[in-house]
Amino acid sequence: MAEPAKTVNKADPAVLAERRRRQRGRNWAVLLALVAFVVVVYAITIVKLKGS
Amino acid sequence: MTARPELSLRDLSGSIAGPRVSDYIALLKPRVMSLVVFSGFAGLVVAPGSIHPLIAAVAILCIAVGAGASGAINMWFDRDIDAIMSRTKSRPIPAGNVDPNEALGFGLVLSFLSVLLMGMAVNWTAGSLLAFTIFFYVVIYTMWLKRRTPQNIVIGGASGAFPPMIGWAAVTGDISLASISLFLLIFMWTPPHFWALSLYREGDYAKAGVPMMPVVAGARSTKLQMLVYTLLLLPIALVPFLLHVAGPVYAVAAVLLNLGFIRHAWRVLKSPQGIMGPARAMFRYSLLYLFLHFALLMIDCNPGIIARAIDLVHALQAGVIE
């Protein structure tokens, strides 16, 4: 006998909470990437200025 | 009565609950990236001259991000065949976790940033080489050759061979015969490495209509070509020694490693049709071969490499304290 299909209600509070959790994870990742980029550019500038 | 199966929220696809950070990391093909980073680092260490440790770290970061970005664009373009092949069907796009256009945008933005940072922070020779590598992998290999010719991996393999040249150019600012010898090493290594994989994944490629060598020319012809490439690889592996990039320790180790590779190719050639054990063993050995090759190259041309690594850590600490 075939297994009953898994159904997902997009408006289910648990699904919405999971959506928010993943959104928060992506936001943190973008923040970290941007901060890292700024730090790298800042450090490169210092090294280049010292070099010249 | 049959109970409805419990739905795990962690298993929800990206189209319902949005993509996870790990889906974006998977788009960067981290396993491929690790080998690219290692060979790029080797090029950087082997090159004559000096480079500030921070600039060296930025060069490696740019190589890693550039390689990952081209992987993301590759996944965007190949999403139709990725969905068919069992090896790739769980990738973020065919699994429905990341929207294809988002993956393309992600790849393009990272490509642009990696080339820009490499050019501005390191030098424009390395930046141009990185841009050309991304172009070669995405346009020449993925879009043009992969679905058209069984020689796809032979020519397309060049994109995976550029990282040591980029690392070298990051230090010296130029392209030399010695850096081309490092390129040639990976270039000639790629066909037997990849064909070993495609021998035991032949069904996958045939199903997706990708003209890999075993699909088009058959297993016997592929195995024969693998042996030819491993034989050609032996003299090429000795070029860095002949150009005085590395010393006799490397030369002896390179000969031994190549003899091992040839032995694997011979075992694959002699294996009966349908027996995939030797091809799997050769694929695993090919990864070890490349890793050991570049590791030996770095150690042999820098006998004091460990002492230098300690100095580098001290220099970085001093920089932070200042």
Specify the amino acid at residue B227: L
Query: Which pLDDT belongs to residue B104?
Result: 96
Q: Which residue of A has its CA nearest to B19?
A: A22
Report chain A residues whose CB lies below 8 A from the CB of B121.
40, 44, 48
The CA-based dihedral angle spanning residues B216, B222, B228, B232, taken in that order and rounded to the nearest 10 degrees: 70
The partner residue sitting opposite A29, judged by closest CB among B7, B9, B21, is B21
Contact between chains at B2 and A1 (C-beta distance less than 8 A): yes
Average pLDDT over residues A9-35: 87
**How far does B222 lie from chain A, in Å, by closest CA?**
42
The partner residue sitting opposite B121, judged by closest CB among A17, A23, A44, is A44
Comparing C-alpha atoms, which of B67, B56, B225, B87 is closest to residue B161? B67
Comparing C-alpha atoms, which of A45, A41, A13 is closest to residue B61? A41
- End-to-end, the C-alpha distance of chain A in Å comes to 76
Query: Which pLDDT belongs to residue B8?
Result: 65
Window 4-33 of B, Cβ < 8 Å to A: 4-5, 7, 9-10, 12, 16-21, 24
Query: Which pLDDT belongs to residue B1?
Result: 43
Whether the Cβ atoms of residue B133 and residue B186 lie closer than 8 Å to each other: no
Specify the amino acid at residue A29: A
Q: Is B1 on the interface with A (CB under 8 A)?
A: no
Query: Options 1.10.600, 3.30.70, 1.25.40, 2.50.20; which CATH number does B20-317 get?
Result: 1.10.600
The phi, psi pair for B98, rounded to 5°, reads: -130, 135
Whole-angstrom CA distances from B135 to B41, B164, B172, B321 are 21, 17, 23, 40
Query: Which pLDDT belongs to residue B11?
Result: 66
**Concatenated DSSP letters of A2-49:** PPPPP---TT-HHHHHHHHHHHHHHHHHHHHHHHHHHHHHHHHHHHHH
A42-49: list long-range contacts, CB under 8 Å, 24+ apart: A43/B54, A44/B54, A44/B55, A44/B58, A44/B120, A44/B121, A47/B52, A47/B54, A47/B55, A48/B121
**CA–CA separation, B245 and B296 (whole Å):** 12
Query: Which pLDDT belongs to residue B210?
Result: 87
**How far does B112 lie from chain A, in Å, by closest CA?**
14
**How far does B43 lie from chain A, in Å, by closest CA?**
21
Comparing C-alpha atoms, which of B3, B210, B15, B167 is closest to residue B94? B15
Query: Which pLDDT belongs to residue A15?
Result: 80
Query: Which pLDDT belongs to residue B311?
Result: 75
Predicted confidence band at A1 (pLDDT cuts at 50, 70, 90)? very low
Q: How many CB atoms lie within 10 A of CB A34?
A: 10
Question: Under DSSP, is residue A1 helix (H, G, I), strand (E, B) or coil?
Answer: coil
Burial B27-37 (b: 16+ CB within 10 A, else e): bbbeeebebbb
Could you tell me which residue, A17 or B289, shows the higher pLDDT? B289
Report chain A residues whose CB lies below 8 A from the CB of B54.
43-44, 47
ipTM of the complex: 0.79
H helix intervals, B78-218: 79-82, 100-117, 124-135, 152-156, 158-161, 163-172, 177-200, 202-208, 213-216
**CA–CA separation, B52 and B147 (whole Å):** 42
Contact between chains at B5 and A51 (C-beta distance less than 8 A): no
Whether the Cβ atoms of residue B21 and residue A27 lie closer than 8 Å to each other: no
Query: Which pLDDT belongs to residue B2?
Result: 46
**CA–CA separation, B297 and B246 (whole Å):** 6
**How far does B167 lie from chain A, in Å, by closest CA?**
18
Report chain B residues whose CB lies below 8 A from the CB of A17.
9
pLDDT in tens, chain B (322 residues): 444 455 566 666 666 777 889 999 999 999 888 889 999 999 999 999 889 999 999 999 999 999 999 999 999 999 999 999 888 889 999 998 999 999 999 999 999 999 999 999 999 999 999 999 999 999 999 999 999 999 988 988 899 999 999 999 999 999 999 999 999 999 999 999 999 998 888 888 888 888 889 888 888 999 999 999 999 999 999 999 999 888 888 999 999 999 999 999 999 999 988 788 899 999 999 999 999 999 999 888 776 666 666 777 777 777 655 5
The partner residue sitting opposite B52, judged by closest CB among A18, A22, A47, is A47
**Concatenated DSSP letters of B213-228:** HHHHT-HHHHHHHHHH
**How far does A13 lie from chain B, in Å, by closest CA?**
11
